[in-house]
Amino acid sequence: MERATIQDWIESQVLLSSSVQRDVKYRIYRENNKHYQDIRELDDTPIHTLELPDGMKLDRSSYEVLLRYVLTDIVAA
């Protein structure tokens, strides 16, 4: 199993609504030929791991947008 870090852990405050904010951290890594966004609480509790579509290569601000969508979806569930 080949694993490589693309973007190391970044802490982020995600505004989910006008009154709800969530402090999380995330990283981007590759495992074999697939890319993932690993999202966790600041205390390292896992929240979600998102498999990114093939060939998806984004800048940091795009990963932040994905982070917000994933967290909004999880909170709504």
Question: Which of 48, 35, 33, 42 is CA-nearest to residue 9?
Answer: 42
Strand residue runs (E) in the chain: 3-15, 21-31, 34-41, 46-52
pLDDT in the model for residue 39: 93
What is the value of pTM for the model shown? 0.80
What SS3 state is found at 76? helix
* Tens-digit pLDDT string for the chain (77 aa): 688 998 999 999 888 777 888 899 999 999 988 889 999 999 999 999 999 877 666 667 778 888 888 888 776 55
Place of tokens 């999380």: 24
Can you give the pLDDT at residue 40?
Answer: 95
